Amino acid sequence: MAEYDFDLFVIGAGSGGVRAARLAALSGAKVAVAEEYRVGGTCVIRGCVPKKFMVYASEVSAQLKTAEGFGWSVGARTFDWKRFLQDKDVEIARLSGIYVTNLQKAGAHLLHGKARVVDAHTVEVLPKEGSQDAGRYTARRILIATGGRPVRPEFPGVDLGVTSDEAFHLPTLPKRVMVVGGGYIAVEFAGIFNGLGVETTLLYRGANILRGFDDDVRSHLADELEKRGIKVVLGCSHKSIEKTEQGLLSTLSNDLTFETDAVMFATGREPYVEGLGLDKVGVKLNERGAIAVDKHSKTNVDSIWAVGDVTDRINLTPVAIREGAAFAQTEFYGNPTSFDHELVASAVFSQPPVGVVGLSEAEARHAFGKVDIYRSIFRPMKATFYGGQERCLIKLVVKQDDEKIVGVHVVGPDSPEIIQMAAIAVKMGVTKPQWDSTCAVHPTLAEELVTMREKYMPSDVGVA
């Protein structure tokens, strides 16, 4: 009889857990995956994927406006929220089904129910309605990939608001919304609501949105959001929310009040470790409450690993996938692998979107002292034709001593697509002369990236 029921027991069937489980199972290992909700995790069920569908839906209103600028006559503009949600849910169910099929094809056993660690080699799956999977299972290795979940601030009436989890299922589209926070989720949802015709206020407690991003990106995006009709309120937070006859009354720290129909909190996410039994087995958490791991995603307990948002390294789907894959390579293919967390590109699907790889100007100055900046702010060709006022920002941060490009920042249409390609060169250590030797593709927005020759001095107005 085998020493353990499974070679690997994965807790959480999101991006990181599924990738690790599939790869491990394909190596011939006996693998179980427990999921308490739906297979696919945050990304597929209530994150990246449904969010992108909502972005697509909401972008149409601006596209219709542009269409008129290009000679089209566009008829009645109505948006059917309920129909959109139904179609979105059908597509999400299809994608979740593909995850299930892929796990099965790889030979992994899927167990339905919340799992918790009982000891270093035992996991208990708790009873779940409609599932017969409850019970105790032993495993040589345990991988925790439970992701994160939204957190709300604490003040009277906070429960009257929703988080991103509920925002994907609002029974009706509000007429007025207040989105709270200044991170990825807040600016993305502010754009979604605004594009869908909702009167949108973005409330952020700090001096400018997207803390941690390059300062030019932050101020440029805030301006662009306002141009598109989002009211950006900075340096303010909630005192309370009360229900009124018409909606929800937010009282802010400056004593101003705002009445909206909905308030959405995008005030960060925390590692989902609750109920996992980690304290009992002695798995250490770091000061942010995330599972502490080494470069191979191993915890302080010899038989337990963790990947993805529950480890709070870089909380992005592709990173979780790479961490899961590296774990499987190391433990099941005899190929010690660790994911390199340097120079991971990311995109914010705000409207306009942001694409970033590498360091902000401030980070680069702090790290290297002397840096050169190349910066261009311009109206894209499409906007000049129809009189649109939107502007793009392109910025390169270059280390002075060896001319390596250490940061690329793009705010404008297609910037997520552009940054994916730029990231390859930056990851390879491209220098500014090498970058500039690449001939432009014309007429594109991205050509501006390889045609900036003048160093930017802060006194420049910088409008091309």
Looking at beta carbons only, is 174 or 355 nearer to ligand NDP?
A: 355
Contact flag: residue 211 with ligand NDP (CB under 6 A): yes
Which among 441, 461, 460, 463 is positioned nearest to 451, based on CA atoms?
Answer: 441
Looking at beta carbons only, is 210 or 293 nearer to ligand NDP?
A: 210
Contact flag: residue 266 with ligand NDP (CB under 6 A): yes
**Taking CB under 6 A as the criterion, which residues in 100-129 touch ligand NDP?**
none
Q: How many CA atoms lie within 13 A of 370 on its CB side?
A: 5
Q: How many CA atoms lie within 13 A of 87 on its CB side?
A: 8
Looking at beta carbons only, is 185 or 232 nearer to ligand NDP?
A: 185
Least Cβ distance, residue 211 to ligand NDP (angstroms): 4
Verify whether residue 442 is a known catalytic residue: yes
Which span (200-208, 247-255, 276-284, 396-404) binds ligand NDP, by CB under 6 A?
200-208
Looking at beta carbons only, is 34 or 209 nearer to ligand NDP?
A: 209
Least Cβ distance, residue 266 to ligand NDP (angstroms): 5
Contact flag: residue 318 with ligand NDP (CB under 6 A): no
Residue 436 φ/ψ, nearest 5 degrees? -70, -20
The Cα–Cα gap between 114 and 37 comes to 8
Contact flag: residue 268 with ligand NDP (CB under 6 A): yes
# chain residues binding ligand NDP, by CB under 6 A: 24
Binder to ligand NDP among 31, 117, 316, 398 (CB under 6 A)?
Answer: 316
Least Cβ distance, residue 395 to ligand NDP (angstroms): 19
Q: Are the beta carbons of 380 and 390 closer than 8 angstroms? A: yes
The Cα–Cα gap between 173 and 328 comes to 43
Element (H, E) at 264: strand 262-265
Contact flag: residue 415 with ligand NDP (CB under 6 A): no
Contact flag: residue 17 with ligand NDP (CB under 6 A): no
The Cα–Cα gap between 176 and 249 comes to 11
Least Cβ distance, residue 243 to ligand NDP (angstroms): 20
The Cα–Cα gap between 204 and 218 comes to 12
Looking at beta carbons only, is 316 or 371 nearer to ligand NDP?
A: 316
8-state DSSP, 313? S
Q: Report the b/e string of 376-389 with b at 16+ CB within 10 A.
A: bbbbbeebeeeebe
Place of tokens 């502010």: 190
Contact flag: residue 52 with ligand NDP (CB under 6 A): no
Looking at beta carbons only, is 207 or 367 nearer to ligand NDP?
A: 207
Looking at beta carbons only, is 237 or 299 nearer to ligand NDP?
A: 237
Contact flag: residue 201 with ligand NDP (CB under 6 A): no
Binder to ligand NDP among 237, 260, 311, 351 (CB under 6 A)?
Answer: 237
Which span (62-70, 263-271, 361-369, 406-414) binds ligand NDP, by CB under 6 A?
263-271
Binder to ligand NDP among 17, 40, 182, 407 (CB under 6 A)?
Answer: 182
- Indicate the Cα dihedral angle 418, 422, 424, 427, nearest 10°: -140
Contact flag: residue 315 with ligand NDP (CB under 6 A): yes
Q: Are the beta carbons of 147 and 309 closer than 8 angstroms? A: yes
Looking at beta carbons only, is 139 or 221 nearer to ligand NDP?
A: 221
**Taking CB under 6 A as the criterion, which residues in 327-356 touch ligand NDP?**
346-349
Write the burial class of residue 134 (CB in 10 Å: 0-12 exposed, 13-18 middle, 19+ buried).
middle
297 C-beta neighbours (distance < 10 Å), count: 26
Least Cβ distance, residue 85 to ligand NDP (angstroms): 19
Residue nearest to ligand NDP (CB): 183
Give the DSSP per-residue string, 53-114: HHHHHHHHHHHHHHHHHTT---------HHHHHHHHHHHHHHHHHHHHHHHHHHTPEEEES-
Kindly tell me the sign of the dihedral angle through the C-alpha atoms of 182, 185, 186, 187.
positive
Contact flag: residue 185 with ligand NDP (CB under 6 A): yes
151's tokens: 């957190």
Q: Contact residues for ligand NDP (CB under 6 A)?
A: 153, 180-186, 188, 204-206, 211, 237, 266-269, 315-316, 346-349
Q: Would you please indicate which residues are annotated as catalytic (active-site) residues?
A: 442
